[in-house]
Structure 1
Amino acid sequence: MRGLLLAIQFLTRLPTPRGTASDADFAASIRWFPLVGLLIGALVAGAGWLARGDAWIGALAALAVWIGVTGALHLDGLADLTDARGAAHGDRARLLAVLADPHVGSFGVVALVLQIVAKLVLLHALVTAGLWAPLVLIPFAARIGPLVWTRWLPPLHAGLASRFRAAVRRVDIAVWMVVLVSVAFVWPAILVTPLLLAGWALYLRRAIGGISGDGHGAGIELVETALLVAALL
């Protein structure tokens, strides 16, 4: 249970009991990321359902909970990676320097606005259609991504992604993929998830050569948005 608590502490702003943990404990918490995603999804769907009397208010409530419960953690990664790609112009040293810069530039601001607007519009459509199961499952499916990307891609630097690398086992990915296939009986479109995860891994390998914490965050955000589209299609 320590790993689950650490994963909740890292991925959310939900209150949990505090305690000490080693680096190995923290790294192993990545194995619980998909389950934390299921918790996030339940909260997002619950907020949308409670405010469903008006679809726009329901969508806004779901989005506010989605951003609030995660502390905009993954949005920060999307902004940083977009800034780095926009400013690098093919210069890898410049790309890594911008990734390490905590400030948000114009590319990152545009990416944040587009992502938030896209999620709001898509959430409105799902609330209107009463598609609650996808809202529960989308954050779960997207958080299988860090396990896959950590296993497949080399770390860009000695940061967050490199700390998780040794903790991800093949059996962890296999277990969550089995769960993913199982819940497809509830929502078949979730089976597009492996293609989305593989596509993001290929993009990162070709575009920046590896994975970082920002790459994980950006990937989670983009996979979530793609799955929202899949739910409507």
Structure 2
Amino acid sequence: MKGLIIAIQFLTRLPAPRIAVSDAEFAASMHWFPAVGLIIGGLVAGGGWAGTQLDLWIGALAALLLWVGVTGALHLDGLGDVADAAGAAHKDRERLLAVLADPHIGSFGTVAIGLQLVAKLVLLHAAIEANILAAIALTPFAARIGPLLWTRWLPSLHQGLASRFRDAVHPLAVALWLAAWLAACWFVPGLLAAPVAMFLFGWWLRGKLGGISGDGHGAGIEITESLLLLAALIAARLA
């Protein structure tokens, strides 16, 4: 359970016991990312449901605020950094890495974060209106399987978080989470779109930036979450 506590500390702003962590333990905590997604999803769905007692849009806003607040906008920051780097990708590699490492946000990143927040708000409202709270609860879980797959597939851009995770991800853990994802698809068929979303993002990232970093993982989680909510809505409409 130490790995779960480490993952909660890293991926959320939820209170957790402070413990000493080695580099190897921190890297191995990636195995627990999907479990943290279940916690995030439960809180977001619960907040959305509570808000609907007043109004559907209040429910969507409450869910979005919880989503951003619980994660500390960690993945939104990655999305902004990747957007800025993609805007500089036509230049040399050194420029690309410099933009990724720059803590300041540029115009590409600002637009990407703004669009993502609007997209999530609209998708959350539609999901609440369609009464598919299970999709909201399970989407963060499914999206956080992505880093396990991207780590095994994509080269690291530099010696950072992504490279530290690479050797720590065990194929058995990936297989177990994929089995859990298949079970979740029984309740939310839209989650079947997860492999497609993850592959398309990974393929784009490899072609555009040449590999993945910690920011890439964050951006991929954000994009996958939005695409899975959209897929869940389409599946519910077709049912």
Provide TM-score, normalisation by structure 2: 0.96
Structure 2 contact 139–225 (Cα < 8 Å) conserved: yes
Q: Compare 114-123 and 200-209 and name the one that shifted more.
A: 200-209
Q: Which amino acid aligns with 2:61?
A: L
Residues of 1 paired with 2:31 and 2:45: CA distance? 23
Give % identity: 63
- Report the equivalent of 1:115: 116
Write the deviation string for residues 84-109 of structure 1: whole angstroms up to 9, x where unpaired. 11133242221111001000011111
- Report the equivalent of 1:214: 215
Tell me the secondary structure at the aligned position of residue 183 of structure 1: helix
Q: CA deviation at 1:196?
A: 1.1
- Report the equivalent of 1:5: 5
Q: CA deviation at 1:27?
A: 0.5
Residues of 2 paired with 1:90 and 1:215: CA distance? 19
- Report the equivalent of 2:195: 194
Q: CA deviation at 1:82?
A: 0.4
- Report the equivalent of 2:160: 159
Unaligned regions of 5+ residues in structure 2, if any? 235-239
- Report the equivalent of 1:173: 174
- Report the equivalent of 2:237: none
Structure 2 contact 89–208 (Cα < 8 Å) conserved: no
Q: Which amino acid aligns with 1:67?
A: V
Tell me the secondary structure at the aligned position of residue 185 of structure 1: helix
Write the deviation string for residues 91-131 of structure 1: whole angstroms up to 9, x where unpaired. 22211110010000111111111000010011111111111
Superposition pairs of residues 1-233 of structure 1, within 5 angstroms: 1-53=1-53, 54-233=55-234
Residues of 2 paired with 1:204 and 1:92: CA distance? 14
RMSD: 0.8
Residues of 1 paired with 2:201 and 2:162: CA distance? 15
Q: Compare 90-99 and 13-22 and name the one that shifted more.
A: 90-99
Q: Which amino acid aligns with 1:71?
A: G
Tell me the secondary structure at the aligned position of residue 187 of structure 2: coil
Provide TM-score, normalisation by structure 1: 0.98
Q: Which amino acid aligns with 1:216?
A: H
* Moved >3 Å (runs of 4+): none
Unaligned regions of 5+ residues in structure 1, if any? none
Q: CA deviation at 1:195?
A: 1.3
The number of aligned residues is 233
